[in-house]
Every structure is written in structure tokens, then in C-alpha cells.
Amino acid sequence: MRKIIHIDMDAFFASVEQRDHPELRGKAIAVGYDGPRGVVSTASYEARKYGVHSAMPISRAKRLCPNLIIVAGNHHHYKEVSQQVHHIFQEYTDLIEPISIDEAFLDVTHNKKNMPLALDIALEIKSRIKKELHLTASAGISYCKFLAKIASDYRKPDGICTIHPDKAIEFIDKLRIENFWGIGKKTAERMHHMGIFTGKDLRKVSKNHLVEVFGKSGYIFYDFARGIDNRPVNTNYIRKSVGCEHTFLEDICIKSTILIELYHTVLELIERLKKNNFEGNTLTLKIKYSDFTQITRSYTQSKVLNSKDTILPIAKKLLQQISYSANHPIRLMGLSVTNNLDYTDITHRLKDDYYELELEFKKWPDEH
């Protein structure tokens, strides 16, 4: 039986700021861009008591918590601290799969210290993070990544939770469908319309019907409902997409202005493709309107998308499929290039989503 640990740093960015700046300790803080279009990247637990959370507009966060302190992020520093955390991981196992800057899976089935219990390893790692880095982390332990990920969220902050194989189905049965890894708001709403509210409800739906409704993801949902997740802890991550997006200081609806913004977005995308030495053949245009509704349009071709000549004409064609007006202006525009994805790998999708947030963290804050 595999022994998988998922480590998730608690309110990572905010906790680092409170650690490094004693005057912020015990106070409600939010890391993010303090501007008209700013968004909360991470909120301290003191701020969360007021309902402040990540992806919330700064303006709303301030209304909920009048004493909220906004701290500009220092992503380079957070990355350095993340590397220090990973140095601790590496003393226990080489099978480490980062999910984002503040969380990772560890396969400790065969570990460097020959410790028989994954629980003891997780406790020791948590203790060292607290003692050496003065930060807290939560840990989830189980026999697969799906359950380890969920377990780490179960008793945050500074918590630890083990889901034993004998208790897995019982745990899943009571789990709200919104809390399943890989099920977002829209997918949850579709499941609610199907009468699916818990893991037990999900397990009653046939595999064929789930695939019919959700495509290849239906296979994943079918397995997750049964506690099945055979994906290994993958140390060799291959990037699946590269993109960029801009939130405008003011909503736009004039065609010439939109075309200019599209042109600049294409140029930035090309630079990022070169920087990451990335090749893909699917271009996706993302538009978010002033009311926060969002649409995407994609086009796939056989030729690699890596230059202005290959990307700009397709971007313009995708834009022609988008409607906008003075009453329905555009708030955000984004472009990304993607390889042909195997959508059975939710882990890679989550990593790519985080990568885009990482790239946009300071320069282009938005409601991710």
C-alpha cells in the first residue's frame, strides 16, 4: 500500500509577511495589489474571520474588514522560502511533486529514514517547518493523491489528517461534491442539477453517464467516488500551457482599443513562449466582462504557434466571435497556447492554472 503525504503551507504569503514583519503578527492582513482592480492573493487567518479570502476584490475585502492591512507581495522571496521547505522534504524522499509554490505531494512508501509510519514523517516535517522556518503547514495522509489532498484541507491551519483505506469510502460518502479535488463551481452546479451533492450521490451515477455529461473527466469522477486514484507522485512535470492575461484599469468596449490590447497581449505571449521554450498548437482567448462573467474561445491547428504571424491572425478570428458593447464591456483579456492535453491528469491542469496566477501576481492582479 502506498503512503502519500500532501503538505500545504498555511496562508503561505500572509504567514511569511507576518513572520518577517512582527508588527503584522496577530493582525488581519491580505497580500495583494492595493488598487481599484486589486485582488486578494492570500489572507491571514485573522482576516479570514471577517470573510476575506483569496480571489476576492480588495475593495470588497476592505468593506468586510475595515482594519484590513494590504501588503504588496514579494513573490521572489516567497519562492526562496518555498525552496527552503522543499529542502526539508528532500531529507525524507526524492519522490516530490510540487503542485504550487506552497504545496506538494510526497511519496514516503520507501523513505530515506526508514520510518514505517507516514504519520510520523508528516509530524516530523511539520515540526521542522515550524522550528526552522517559523511557519505552519497542514498535512494530509492517505494511500492516494486524491485523498491526501483532501485530508490536508480537513483540519487547517496547522492540522494533520489521515484517511485510512478502510475508512476511505465512509469519508468520501460524506464529502460535499464541492470539496472534491478538480470539481470547480460550474461543475458542482451541473452535478447539483443531476442530484449529486455528496460522494455517495456521485457513486450512484454510472460511468457512461458521467462520461456523457463531463467528457473524459467523467472517468476521474467515477474513480474518485470509489477512492481510486492510481496516479504516481510525478517528479518530472511537463508544462502543458503558457499564457498571460491583463485586467484593464477601466473596462473597454471600443473596437480599436480592444484590438490594440489584443496586439500587446499577443506580443507578451510570444515572449513567454520563447522564455519557456514552449511549443503548442491550440490558442485560447479568454474574456472576462465587467459583471465578472467569463467566456473562452479556442482554435487548434497542426502548425506550432510561436510567432506573431502564427498567433495574431488566429487571435483576431477568435475575437470576432466575442460580443461586447458599452453595456457589456470587457474587464480582462487573456491568451494562452496549449499542447494537446490529456485531461485525465487533473494535477497538470491545476499546476498550469497556478502558473498563470504566479505570472500575473504583481503586474496584472485579477480575481483568479
pTM: predicted TM-score of the whole model, two decimal places: 0.77
| Range in 42-51, 115-124, 298-307, 350-359 the model is least confident about | 350-359
CATH of domain 1-163: 3.30.70.270
Q: What is the pLDDT of residues 14-29, one digit of tens each?
A: 999 999 999 999 999 9
pLDDT at 105 over 80: yes
Report angle CA 127, 181, 160 to the nearest 5 degrees. 20
pLDDT value, residue 182: 85
251 vs 37, 330, 332, CA distance in Å?
11, 5, 8
Which pLDDT band, with edges at 50, 70 and 90, does 361 fall under?
Answer: very low
Partners of 54 in beta bridges: none
**Residue 297 host element (H or E):** strand 294-300
pLDDT at 261 over 90: yes
pLDDT at 292: 86
Cβ atoms of residues 137 and 159 within 8 Å? no
Give the C-alpha separation, 322 to 333, whole Å.
11
Q: What is the pLDDT of residues 195-204, one digit of tens each?
A: 999 999 999 9
Is pLDDT of 53 > 50?
Answer: yes
pLDDT at 356: 34
Strand residue runs (E) in 4-163: 4-9, 29-32, 40-43, 69-71, 96-100, 103-107, 137-142, 160-162
CATH number of 241-360: 3.30.1490.100
279 has catalytic annotation: no
* Active-site position among 103, 245, 356, 360: 103
Q: What's the pLDDT band for 240 if we cut at 50, 70, 90?
A: confident
Confidence check: pLDDT of 63 > 50? yes
Please state the rounded mean pLDDT for residues 302-307.
90
**Domain assignments of the chain as residue spans, ordered by start:** 1-163, 172-224, 241-360
Q: What is the pLDDT of residues 132-162, one digit of tens each?
A: 999 999 999 999 999 999 999 988 999 999 9
Look at residue 354 in the predicted model and tell me its pLDDT.
Answer: 34
Which cell numbers in the block locate residue 313?
491572425
Task: Give the up-direction half-sphere exposure of residue 293: CA atoms within 13 A in the CB hemisphere.
Answer: 7
pLDDT classification of 340: cutoffs 50, 70, 90? low
More confident residue, 269 or 354: 269
Q: What does the alpha-carbon distance between residue 278 and residue 158 come to, in Å, rounded to a whole number?
A: 38
Mean pLDDT, rounded, for 79-106: 96
| CATH architecture, range 172-224 | Orthogonal Bundle (1.10)
Q: pLDDT tens, 305-336?
A: 989 999 999 999 999 999 999 999 999 999 99
Q: For residue 36, what pLDDT band results from cuts at 50, 70 and 90? A: confident
